[in-house]
Each structure stands twice: as C-alpha cells, then as structure tokens.
C-alpha cells in the first residue's frame, strides 16, 4: 500500500476543466427520452417522471453512510459519486441521488462542492447558486403560507387562529441572524396584529421536508395541507388546508417536484434533488428522485446526512418506510484520519502513526457496522484513501472490519475517479446480489415515546431517555390526535452517539435528554430534539461573500 498521489488541481479547477456531455446524452444512458427532459441551461435538466415508460423492474438501492463525523472529514458525498462512477465503469447502469446545496451558507464560509477531486458532480457553480430554482420555489411556497396565515387572522376568517399561537415561521435562503427572532405586524391597524415571528433557512422548512417525502403531486398537496400553522383560542390546531393555501403552494412547487438531472465528471447520471436539514428533518434527497432513479437504473447510489446513527437511521426508518424502499446494501465511509481523530489524535498530528488511537477510533466504526446490519442490510466499509495513509493502518482497519464480519475496501476515487472505486463497486454488487432482508427498527404502531426510547437504546446505546412530563404528555396528546403511527425524527448532535458532542468513540449507558418535541404533521414525523438546534445560521466576521465576485474573464471568484 503506497501513498496515493495528490490530484494536482483544486476541486474547482477540475470541475471547470470538465467537458460536460450534452444532457440528452446523459439522459439516454438511463433510457430517458427527450420528451421527458426539460432543459435548464445546457448542463442541467428536469426529468418528468410522468413521461417515462415503465421499465418493469427496479434497480438496487445502495446507501452510502459514514462513521461519526470529525473535523478530519470522511468524504461521504465524494464516495457516493466515486462509487457511482465505479459501478458505471464495471458495466452497471447506474444513477446517483444526492441533495441540492443550500445557497445562503455559501456566502458565509466558502461553498461546498458536490463531491471532490475526480469524484464530483457538475456543473459545480450552478449547483451552488440558483441551480434550477427549487429552493426559491420552497421559499415562495413557505412564505405564501405565512402571508395567508397572517391575512387569515387580519380578516378574522375561520377557524380562528390566535396571533400569539402562530407556529408557522418564514424562511429565506440566507444566513441572517437578525431574522431569527422578530416582531411582525407593527405600524398600526392596516398592518395586522403584532406578534412574535422569525425566519429559518429554507432547507429547514417543513415545505422542503414535504417535497422530499412526497410520492407525487397529489401526495405533496395532501402533506402540505396537513401542516399545522398555529392554534386557535381553544388551542385546537389549525392546518394549512384550513387556511386554504395547499393548492396554491402545490402550484408553486409543481416544477420543483420534478427531479433535477446533472452528471458526474465521468458522465454518470446524477439526480440532485431536495435538500432538507439533517437534524430537524430526515436529511435525504427526494423520494421522487430516488424512485425515478430506481425505475431507470440497475444501481442507485444515494447518501444520508451525518453519520449512520442519524443519517442511516432516518433513511431507513423515515424515507424507506414512507417510500416503501428496500435498500440492498450499505457502504460505511471511513478514513484513516477520521478514525485517528475519533481515537483522540489532534488535527495537526493526523499524519503520524497512531495504532492505539486508530484502535480506539475503530470502536466507533464497529458500532455503526453493527447498527446498520441490524436493519437487515449488508455492509461494506469504504476506506476513502488519502495520500498519507500507511499500509499497516489500512491493514489494521481491514482486520477490525473482518472481526465484525464485513470487508473494508480501499477506494481511490478522489485521486483516480471511478477507476479507483471499482473494487468497492464489485463488492457492493456482490452484496446486493446476495440479497438483503431490510426491516425498519420499530413498527409504525409503537408509541411515540417508545420509538424514541428504541432508537436511543438500540442505535445510540443510551442507558435511558430523560424527558419532562410535559414532553411525554405532548407525545400522548399527539397519539390521541391520530399521529401515533408517525416515525420519529431525531435532532441530535452528529458528533457523538450521545447528546454530548465531546463524547467520541462508542459511548454506552449515557442519558439521552429530550428537550422538546415538535410535530411535522405535513412532512409526516415527530421531531425529538436532544439539544440546541440552530435553524438560521449567521455570517462570520469576514463572510466569504466579501471575496466573491466576477473576475476579469467573467468567471466566479471566491465561491469555492
């Protein structure tokens, strides 16, 4: 095992140097006819699933998830892209499904690419700006509902909404801390009833979560209609449907619901669609994109936000449950550096040998392997290669994985593109062809608190769940109101199995405190919050925006 040569260019340089294939050519790889392809510029398109001929069989769904994230990074999206390209190279008809990027945060810190090195989805710049306008459509639909709620109160329409009990906030795709807590309706009679309000970032919108879990337009409208926007003077919930906004919101979202098609650097079709927050929502791309891809490709590679404790659990228990998906295999991404970091090595020391720290870090990997296998899904570990990795370190991880009954395969897609992920691809195919026996962690009819308790004990290995009487009472009230069968969406720090981000490795016996629960009746889950949740970021002292502009050649500078 020798060091991988560093790619000589930055992600941006590689992305810009790429010669993109025309979209009809990318679409043709999946048998998408031009009649189903709606162009957005020359290098992006939307696909109309209604214009596709049924293929009569479904592809195999591969989840890419990861160990607990560390500052060292693990490269989950990069591996998703690399694995997709690897599968394509070994002759499989493959599609990739990932989330869209949020616009606002790009102006705070330097923007996020979709993958990295030779394993990227392009066009990078468009994907980090307006892309095909889906986020803007969510913003418009969300804020139309907010305007209609205040207008409903203003005119005294029925059912009455108590202005003090409006729960529906507004959204913008911008990092703006000044909008977190505001008072609206000031300035006198003509402007309505003054009340507290606030803005979240668009990705945190329940409308986004509805878009991502909707099976079709009718289901989207039904989900939007079920959103609870506030409570009446009698404390009865008032829904979006009762305010009369669901139809108009659906009209605003009808194009946004069509999956976006782009390509990897190697021309593998990639659906980039939907972008919900991975804490207060499930953090996966849209169900409709995943289903469309499964109807077209033999292999569909997708990912879920954060580590497997959060991302994979929600993918299985929320998205797969709601969408009737049967994942065929899971890839758990790890890096030598991240495992050393999880074992306690400081960032500056990550290049030095540290077999003991690596051993400790492997405990985290082992927990994720066991958890994922617990869903009945076969697992392979992908070691996302860095040039500083040592053969003995690789061997140590591979031996550890073998003890857990899984294989750990080195993947060099960052430096080599799909060719570097062919071994991984072949293993994934072998696992998927051998068959899985997927089942969610808990049955839908388990009590809401019991669902939280099950996730806490079986996935997080907590000793107990701590929740105020008021939290339990709220859960019982929702059960009585007909929401018992909803899955639970955990909002917890991604940096530990526990709710303490400082507790690395594979802690057990800890206490999981549930601070608050929230009903996302439209999206279709109950959110259990185990700590602070920030739904509107701020900008740093020197925001990236200050350095962003067009250079002399009219190209975007400073965005990456």
Q: Is 215 a catalytic residue?
A: no
Alpha carbons 522 and 17: distance in angstroms, whole number: 43
Q: Burial, 498: exposed, middle or buried (Cβ in 10 Å; 0-12, 13-18, 19+)?
A: buried
Angle at 479 between CA 276 and CA 247, to 5 degrees: 50
* Binding letters toward its own copies, positions 219-248, x by CB under 8 A: --x----------------------xxxxx
The answer to whether residue 157 forms part of the interface with its own copies (CB under 8 A) is: yes
The 8-class DSSP code of residue 225 comes to: H
CA gap 53, 522 in Å, rounded: 30
Query: Which window, 190-198, 289-297, 368-376, 380-388, contacts its own copies (CB under 8 A)?
Result: 190-198
Answer yes or no: is 77 a known binding residue.
yes
Do 360 and 94 contact (CB within 8 A), yes or no?
no
68 is in an annotated binding site: no
183 counts as binding its own copies under rule CB under 8 A: yes
In the complex, minimum distance from the CB of residue 42 to its own copies, in angstroms, rounded to a whole number:
7
Q: How far is the CB of 388 from its own copies (least distance, A)?
A: 35
Catalytic site residue from 29, 46, 76, 492 = 76
Residue 40 appears among annotated catalytic residues: no
74 annotated ligand binder: yes
Residue 173 contacts its own copies per CB under 8 A: yes
- By CB under 8 A, name the one of 8, 17, 57, 155 that touches its own copies: 155
> Please, what is the Cα angle at 68 between 80 and 200, to 5 degrees?
80
Q: Check if the beta carbon of residue 60 is closer than 8 Å to that of residue 299.
A: yes
Nearer to its own copies, 46 or 92 (CB): 46
Q: Which residue in 78, 79, 250, 290 is the catalytic one?
A: 78
Respond yes or no: is residue 168 known to be catalytic.
no
Cβ neighbors of 480 (< 8 A, separation 6 or more) are none
Site pattern 243..272 for its own copies (x: CB under 8 A): -xxxxx-xxx-xx-----------------
Which candidate in 204, 256, 278, 330 is catalytic? 278
How far apart are CB 332 and its own copies at their closest, in Å?
36
Ramachandran category for residue 187: left, alpha or beta (phi over 0 → left; psi -120 to 50 → alpha):
left
Which CB sits closer to its own copies, 150 or 416?
150
Q: Where are the beta strands (DSSP E) in 41-194?
A: 44-47, 60-66, 94-98, 115-116, 119-122, 170-172, 182-184
**Is 78 designated active site?**
yes
Active site residue 535: no
Specify whether the CB–CB gap between 179 and 198 falls below 8 A. yes
Bridge partners (DSSP) listed for residue 115: 120
Q: Which one of 142-150, 285-293, 455-463, 484-492 is the stretch in contact with its own copies (CB under 8 A)?
A: 142-150
Cα–Cα distance, 279 to 204 (Å, whole number):
9
| Touching its own copies, residues 520-559 (CB under 8 A) | 538-539, 541, 543, 545-550, 554, 556, 558-559
Binding residues among 409-428 for its own copies as defined by CB under 8 A: none
Q: For tokens 């659990």, what's the residue?
A: 313
Minimum distance from residue 559 beta carbon to its own copies (Å): 7
Binding-residue pattern over the window 74 to 113 for its own copies, x denoting contact by CB under 8 A = -----------------------------x---x------
- Residue 247 in tokens: 């139809």
Closer by beta carbon to its own copies, 187 or else 324:
187
Q: Counting beta carbons within 10 angstroms of the beta carbon of residue 346, is it exposed (0 to 12), middle (13 to 18) or buried (19 or more)?
A: exposed
| CA 129 to chain centroid | 18
Q: Which of 131, 306, 478, 560 is catalytic?
A: 306
Residue numbers in the known binding site for ATP are 70-77
Show which residues are catalytic: 76, 78, 99, 110, 278, 306, 386, 414
């Amino acid at each position: 095992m020798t060091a991988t040569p560093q790619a000589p260019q930055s992600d941006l340089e590689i992305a810009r140097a790429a010669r993109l294939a025309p979209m009809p050519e990318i679409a043709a790889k999946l048998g998408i006819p031009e009649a189903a392809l709606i162009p957005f510029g020359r290098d992006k398109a939307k696909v109309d699933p209604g214009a596709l001929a049924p293929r009569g069989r479904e592809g195999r769904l591969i989840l890419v998830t990861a160990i607990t994230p560390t500052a060292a990074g693990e490269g989950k999206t990069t591996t998703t892209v690399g694995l997709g390209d690897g599968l394509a190279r070994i002759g499989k008809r493959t599609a990739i499904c990932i989330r869209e990027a949020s616009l606002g945060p790009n102006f705070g810190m330097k923007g996020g690419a979709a993958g990295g090195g030779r394993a990227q989805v392009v066009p990078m710049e468009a994907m980090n700006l307006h892309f095909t306008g889906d986020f803007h459509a969510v913003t418009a639909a969300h804020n139309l509902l907010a305007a209609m709620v205040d207008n409903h109160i203003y005119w005294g329409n029925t059912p009455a909404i108590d202005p003090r009990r409006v729960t529906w906030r507004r959204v913008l795709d911008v990092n703006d801390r000044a909008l977190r807590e505001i008072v609206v309706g000031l300035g006198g009679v003509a402007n309505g009833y003054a009340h507290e309000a606030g803005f979240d970032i668009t990705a945190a919108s329940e409308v986004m979560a509805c878009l991502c879990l909707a099976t079709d337009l009718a289901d989207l409208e039904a989900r939007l209609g079920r959103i609870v926007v506030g409570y009446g003077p009698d404390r009865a919930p008032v829904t979006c449907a009762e305010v009369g906004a669901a139809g108009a919101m659906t009209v605003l979202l009808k194009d946004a619901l069509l999956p976006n098609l782009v390509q990897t650097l190697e021309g593998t079709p990639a659906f980039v669609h939907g972008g919900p927050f991975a804490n207060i929502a499930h953090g996966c791309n849209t169900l409709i994109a995943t289903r469309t891809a499964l109807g077209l490709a033999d292999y569909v590679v997708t990912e879920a936000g954060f580590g497997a404790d959060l991302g994979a659990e929600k993918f299985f228990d929320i998205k797969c449950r709601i969408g009737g998906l049967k994942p065929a295999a899971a890839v758990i991404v790890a890096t030598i550096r991240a495992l050393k970091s999880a074992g306690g090595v400081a960032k500056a020391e990550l290049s030095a040998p540290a077999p003991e720290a690596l051993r400790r870090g492997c405990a985290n990997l082992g927990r994720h392997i066991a958890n994922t296998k617990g869903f009945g899904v076969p697992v392979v570990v992908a070691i996302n290669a860095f040039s500083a990795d040592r053969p003995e370190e690789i061997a140590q991880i591979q031996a550890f994985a073998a003890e857990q009954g899984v294989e750990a395969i080195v993947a060099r897609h960052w430096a080599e593109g799909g060719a570097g992920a062919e071994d991984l691809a072949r293993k994934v195919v072998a696992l998927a062809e051998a068959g899985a026996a997927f089942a969610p962690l808990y049955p839908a009819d388990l009590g809401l608190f019991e669902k939280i308790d099950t996730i806490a004990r079986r996935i997080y290995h907590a000793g107990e769940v701590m929740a105020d009487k008021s939290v339990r009472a709220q859960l019982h009230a929702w059960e009585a109101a007909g929401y018992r069968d909803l899955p639970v969406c955990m909002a917890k720090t991604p940096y530990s199995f526990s709710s303490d981000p400082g507790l690395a490795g594979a802690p057990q016996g800890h206490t999981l405190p549930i601070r608050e629960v929230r009903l996302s009746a439209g999206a279709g889950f109950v959110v259990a919050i185990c700590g602070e949740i920030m739904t509107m970021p701020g900008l740093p002292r020197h925001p990236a925006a200050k350095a962003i502009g067009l250079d002399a050649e009219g190209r975007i500078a400073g965005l990456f």
